[in-house]
């Protein structure tokens, strides 16, 4: 039977340039033969693969290795800056997508390489060379990756939380709903997702919060929709994870309700 999912596109060369995506916009599954760096000057962008999802927002960039089948999804109006990395350069050396910290110099290099018409090819090559040097030094950021489940029981539990990040049920109660024991699910979280249930749920809530903030949702509303008992507790957890306040993320996006909420499937 034919699949409803569009076929994966093969783009031999990763694009360098600017791409604007509206709220809920995206690029369907594709791969290219060289790595690509994706930076959201505004908005929040998710890159998804069969292994999971990664988020980038102002101050973070996404590294996509060559040959990786992936999709892009935008939350809030996103101003994307894309840089195709010349082969054989690979300053990150990752086999799966990675989130990199973007300091002010790297940010300006990304904007210069993608946003200006540079007549002198030598000047462009020198700018790319400096950009690659900065990428080599960029820190890999934790907290913006949500691994995907494979076991049907674990998929069912994750789906409940993806549909409602504010769900307060513990693992035992969730297991009862899907017909699996708490110990079995606990082992599956560790084996398949590389983290415990509470840590995975915390990562989900923080990433869902990023998405809602990019869509212009008020901070207090985001806190409650993502399962925090108070806005202050949410702000504290958010700042500890991302290094800035939810209000800063909200201001970096362009206010307006996101048409696509939740996590891409």
Run of H or E including 152: helix 152-163
Main-chain dihedrals φ then ψ at residue 16, nearest 5 degrees? -115, 125
What is the structure's pLDDT at 2? Answer: 36
Separation CA 120–CA 130 (nearest Å): 16
Assigned token pair, 40: 């959201």
- Helix axis angle, 121-137 to 104-115, nearest 10°: 150
Same structural domain, 45 and 97: yes
- Taking 70 as the pLDDT cut, the residues of the chain under it are 1-6, 116-120, 142-143, 252-265
Same structural domain, 46 and 18: yes
What is the structure's pLDDT at 43? Answer: 83
What is the structure's pLDDT at 132? Answer: 93
Same structural domain, 176 and 198: yes
Give the chain's domain count.
2
Same structural domain, 88 and 156: no
Q: Is residue 104 in a domain?
A: yes
- Paired sense of beta strands 26-32 and 9-11, if any: parallel
Using a cut of 0.85, tell me whether the model's pTM lies above it: no
Q: From 33, 111, 39, select the one nearest 72 (Cα to Cα).
A: 39
How far the first Cα of the chain sits from its last, in Å, is: 21
Q: Is residue 158 in a domain?
A: yes
Assigned token pair, 38: 């994706």
Same structural domain, 129 and 156: no
Q: Is residue 87 in a domain?
A: yes
Structural contact between residues 175 and 182, judged by C-beta atoms closer than 8 angstroms: yes
Same structural domain, 193 and 106: no
- Choose the final residue of a domain: 137, 166, 198: 137
Q: Is residue 258 in a domain?
A: no
The range of the structural domain enclosing residue 14 comes to 9-137
Instruction: Give me the CATH number covering residue 175.
Output: 1.10.10.60
Strand partners, 17: 82
Strands (E), the chain: 9-11, 17-21, 26-32, 36-49, 52-56, 60-64, 70-84, 98-101, 145-147
DSSP letters, 183-236, are HHHHHHIIIIISS-HHHHHHHHHHHHHHHHHHTT--HHHHHHHTT-SSHHHHHH
Same structural domain, 34 and 124: yes
- Choose the final residue of a domain: 116, 137, 158: 137
- Choose the final residue of a domain: 87, 104, 137: 137
What is the structure's pLDDT at 8? Answer: 85
154: left (phi over 0), alpha (psi -120 to 50) or beta: alpha
Same structural domain, 186 and 207: yes
Same structural domain, 121 and 179: no
């Amino acid at each position: 039977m034919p699949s409803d999912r569009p076929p994966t596109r093969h783009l031999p060369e990763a694009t360098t340039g600017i791409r604007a995506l509206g709220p809920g916009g995206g690029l369907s599954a594709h791969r290219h033969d060289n790595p690509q760096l994706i930076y959201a000057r505004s908005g929040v962008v998710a890159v998804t693969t069969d292994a999971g999802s990664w988020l980038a927002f102002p101050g973070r960039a996404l590294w996509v290795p060559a040959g990786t089948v992936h999709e892009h999804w935008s939350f809030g109006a996103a101003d994307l800056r894309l840089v195709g990395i010349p082969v054989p350069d690979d300053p990150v050396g990752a086999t799966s997508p990675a989130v990199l910290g973007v300091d002010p110099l790297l940010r300006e290099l990304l904007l210069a390489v993608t946003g200006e018409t540079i007549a002198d090819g030598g000047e462009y090559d020198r700018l790319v060379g400096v950009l690659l040097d900065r990428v080599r030094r960029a820190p890999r950021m934790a907290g913006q990756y949500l691994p995907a489940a494979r076991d049907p029981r674990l998929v069912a539990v994750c789906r409940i939380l993806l549909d409602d990040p504010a769900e307060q049920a513990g693992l035992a109660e969730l297991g009862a709903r899907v017909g699996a024991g708490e110990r079995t699910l606990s082992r599956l979280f560790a084996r398949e997702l590389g983290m415990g249930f509470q840590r995975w749920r915390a990562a989900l809530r923080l990433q869902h919060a990023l998405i809602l903030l990019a869509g212009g949702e008020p901070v207090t509303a985001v806190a409650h929709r993502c399962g925090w008992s108070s806005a202050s507790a949410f702000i504290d957890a958010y700042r500890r994870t991302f290094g800035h306040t939810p209000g800063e993320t909200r201001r970096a996006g362009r206010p307006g309700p996101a048409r696509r909420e939740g996590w891409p499937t």
